[in-house]
Structure 1
Amino acid sequence: MAATRRAMAAGAVVLLTGSLLGSPTATASTAPEPTTVAKKLVSPLSMVVAGDGTAYVAQNFAGLLTAVAPGAEPEVVFAAKKGTEVGAVSENGGAVQFATTKGAKTALWSMRPGAKPTKVADLSAYEADHNPDADVSYGIVGGLDAACAAQMPPEVPASYTGIVESHPYGSTVHKGTTYVADAAGNTILSVKPNGKVKTLAVLPPVPVVITAEAAAANKLPACTVGKTFNFEPVPTDVEVGKGGWLYVTLLPGGPEDGSTGAQGRLVKVKVKTGKVREVASGFAGATGVAVADNGDIYVAQLFGGQVSRIKAGRTTAKPYAEVMMPAAVEWADGDLFVSAQVLSEKPKGVVLRY
C-alpha cells in the first residue's frame, strides 16, 4: 500500500510497472476488429492524433516522441537526453506539445514539424513554489493511536500532506490553453501560451476502506481494519469534453494488485471554476480518456485489460474492447486510437485503430 508519491517514484510510473495479478478482464467486446497503426514501441503511454491524421506517440521510458503519419513507418521526431521521460502529448494548431521528466525537473514543450522544441513552462518550478496540495491530508482518516501507528510499515505513513513533486502525465488543449494532468502533483494545471502556469484544480483524495484482506495483503496491522485510507488521486490523462468540462482519469496511489479493489475514477473538471465532479468509478488502472463526437467517453484500464465506454449522459462504464495493457486512448475522425502492450519487457507496444 505505497501511499506517498515518493514511494511511487514520482507518481504513476511505479504504479504502471506494478503487478498485473488479480486484475479483472473484459467480459464482452463491442468494438470492431482493430487495425495496427504502429508496432515495436517502448512504453507508448501517451499520444495525440493531429488534424492531418498523424499520431504522435510518446515512448515514455525510452525518452522518444514518435510521429506516425497515415500509411507511413514510425519516425522519431524528438529524442530526449538519457534518463528523461517524454509524455503528456497534445496538439495545438499544428504544434505538438509534450512534457519531459528527469528526476525532479519537469517541463512543458512545444514543437512544430521539422523544428526544434521550445520550452513553454517549467512545471517543477511551479510545483516547488506553490505545492497546490500542501494542505490536503492523505493516509488514515482521523489518524491512528500511538500503539497502532507504531505497527505501520515504515513505507506507509499513517497520515501525511501533499509533498513537492511533479510528474506531468497527460495534457490537452482548450482555446489555446494547455491543461496538464500532473500525476505526482495531484493537480490539473493550466498553462497559457506565454508560459504562465496556474492551478485549475487540486483533485480530491480517493477514500478506500481497509478490509481484513487488504490489510493482510499489504502487511498492515489488524488495528487498521475498518479505517478509511485517503489515497492520492494521481491524475493520468485529461481530455476536453462538452459544456466547458475537462474529463480526467485517476489512478489512485496504492497497490494495483487487486487487494484494495478497482479504485480508478473518472472525474470532470469545470474549466471556468475548477469544480470537480465524479463521473464513474470501479476502474482497474484508469490511464487514458477519450471523448467521442457524440459525447461517449472511453477509458483505458491498464490493469483491467480493456477499454471501457461510458455512453453520453450515463455514469456506468461497460466493456468496449479487450486490449492487452492499454494506456492511451484518442478519438479522431470517427476512430478510436488505443496504445497497447505498453509494459512489455521488449519493444512490443502497439497503436491500434478501431
Structure 2
Amino acid sequence: MALVGTMLVAAPADATGGGQGLKPVVSGLNGPRGVATHGAKVVYSLGDGSVYEAWAYGTNKGIKKLGTLPGGFAPAIDTDRWGTTYALTGAGGEPGQPLPPGGATLFKLRPGKAPVAIADIGKYQLKDPDPFNLEGPATESNPFGVAALRDGTILVADAAGNDLLRVWPNGRIKTVARLKPRVVKAPPEFGGQLAPAEAVATSVTVGSDGYYYVGELRGFPGTAGTSQVWRIKPGSVGAVCDPVKPAKGNCQRYADGYTSIVDLAGGPRGTIAVVEFAKATWLAAEDPTAPPPIGSLFLQYPGKHHKAGVKKELAKGKLVLPSGAAINQYGDVFVSSPLFGPGAVYRIK
C-alpha cells in the first residue's frame, strides 16, 4: 500500500497552539515532518524537501540548512551518533505511478555539500516483491521511516513494501523482516465485515535494548486500534512479523491497540515515543472539507517479558496531524505538527 499521495489536507495557521508543556523550538515551518536529535541540536525536515539543524534550546536561533531532497514531500530523517544525518525520500506522486527522479532513495547529508545518494530503495524492491501483498504491485515501494544504527548501517521501513530493510554505506541492502497483513473488522461505513488489511510499515527506531522496533499505519479500511509495534532481533534477515503468531521467531509483537502510527522514537530506559497521525485513523485526513484531525503522541513504557507496559499520552488534544518525534539524550521529547500547512517543532516538558 502506498501512503503518501492520498493525504493532501491543509491545516490552518497555529493549528496546534501553544499549550501547557508544549514549547515551540522552531516555528514558522511549512509542513514539518521528520525530527531527529544530536546533543543539544534538533534536526527537522519540511514539505519542500529541505532539512535543517537548529539548537534545541533557543527558539529560531542557530539554524543551519543541511540540504534539500527531491520528491516534493518532507523526507524521513535520522542522525547517527557522529552527527551525520540521513534523509529518506518516499515514492511521491500517485500510487502505482513511476517514481520521480530521486524518489524512494536514501541520502547522506553533509553541511555545505550536495546530498549524496546511498541506496535506491525503489530499485531494490523491484527484485524483492512483497509475498503478502494485497493492494497494488507487489514490487511497489514507498520508504517512510529511517533509523541509523551504531555500526554505520541504516534501517528503512517501506510503507508500500511492508518490510524493514537494512542499508550499508556502500549501498548494499538486505531485507530484515516482512510484516504480514492482519484481519480486522471494517468500520460500519465500510460494511463492518472482517477483512485482511496490510501492515503499512511507516516507522522504525532502535530501542535502548538494541532491538529494532517497527510501527504500522494499517491499510484500508484503516480500522482504529489495530496498529501494532513489532520488536525485531538485531541482525535478523528474512524475519516474518505475523499477527496470527505474534510471539514466534525473530519478529514479535511488542505493542498493540494503536491507531495509524507514522513515527517511533527510542528513548532511555526502554521508553519509545509513538506518534499517531490521527486518533480517528488516517481516513479522517482524507476529507478536504473537514477540519484537520487531532493526532496523538504517546510515551510507551516497557513491561515484562519484552512486551509493552503502560503508556502515557503527551500534549493530549493539542497535536494536529503530528508526523515526527525524537527523544534526546536528556530525555526531552520533540514532535512536529502539523504535517501539512504552517507548523512547528515542539519540545514537550
Asked if Structure 1 and Structure 2 have the same fold, meaning a TM-score greater than 0.5 normalized by the shorter chain, the answer is: yes
Q: Give the SS at the match of 2:315.
A: strand
Unaligned runs of 5+ in 1: 21-30, 139-159
Task: Quote the RMSD (CA, aligned, Å).
Answer: 2.6
* Equivalent of 2:337 in 335, 341, 349: 341
Residue 320 of structure 1: aligned partner = 314
Q: Distance in 1 between matches of 2:257 and 2:339?
A: 22
* Equivalent of 1:67 in 43, 46, 53: 53
Q: Distance in 1 between matches of 2:185 and 2:259?
A: 17
Q: Kindly state the Cα deviation for residue 187 of structure 1 after the two structures are TM-superposed.
A: 1.0
Matched, 1:306 2:292: no
Residue 90 of structure 1: aligned partner = 78
2:324 partner letter: A
Q: Kindly state the Cα deviation for residue 348 of structure 1 after the two structures are TM-superposed.
A: 2.3
Q: Kindly state the Cα deviation for residue 199 of structure 1 after the two structures are TM-superposed.
A: 0.6
Unaligned runs of 5+ in 2: 12-18, 94-98, 240-249, 280-294
Q: Kindly state the Cα deviation for residue 265 of structure 1 after the two structures are TM-superposed.
A: 1.8
Q: Kindly state the Cα deviation for residue 88 of structure 1 after the two structures are TM-superposed.
A: 2.0
1:1-354, aligned counterparts within 5 Å?
Answer: 5=1, 10-14=2-6, 16-17=7-8, 33-51=21-39, 53-59=40-46, 61-70=47-56, 71=58, 72=61, 74-81=63-70, 83-92=71-80, 93-101=82-90, 102-103=92-93, 104=99, 105-131=103-129, 133=130, 135-138=131-134, 163-174=138-149, 175-210=151-186, 213=188, 217-218=189-190, 220=191, 226=193, 228-255=194-221, 260-273=223-236, 274=239, 275-304=250-279, 305-313=295-303, 314-322=308-316, 323-325=318-320, 326-345=322-341, 347-354=342-349
Q: TM-score when scaled to structure 2? A: 0.76
Contact 1:280 1:316 in 2 (8 A): no
Q: More deviation in 92-101 or 199-208?
A: 92-101
Q: TM-score when scaled to structure 1? A: 0.75
Percent identity over the alignment is: 25
Contact 1:206 1:231 in 2 (8 A): yes
Q: Kindly state the Cα deviation for residue 177 of structure 1 after the two structures are TM-superposed.
A: 1.1
Q: Distance in 1 between matches of 2:220 and 2:174?
A: 27
Count of aligned pairs between the two proteins:
295
Contact 2:32 2:74 in 1 (8 A): no
Contact 2:45 2:75 in 1 (8 A): yes
Contact 1:342 1:350 in 2 (8 A): no
1:80 partner letter: L
2:327 partner letter: W
Q: Distance in 1 between matches of 2:51 and 2:77?
A: 9
Q: More deviation in 32-41 or 168-177?
A: 32-41
Contact 1:108 1:121 in 2 (8 A): yes
In our comparison, the structure showing a higher alpha carbon Rg is: 1
Q: Give the SS at the match of 1:335.
A: coil
Change (3 A) 1:353 1:308: closer
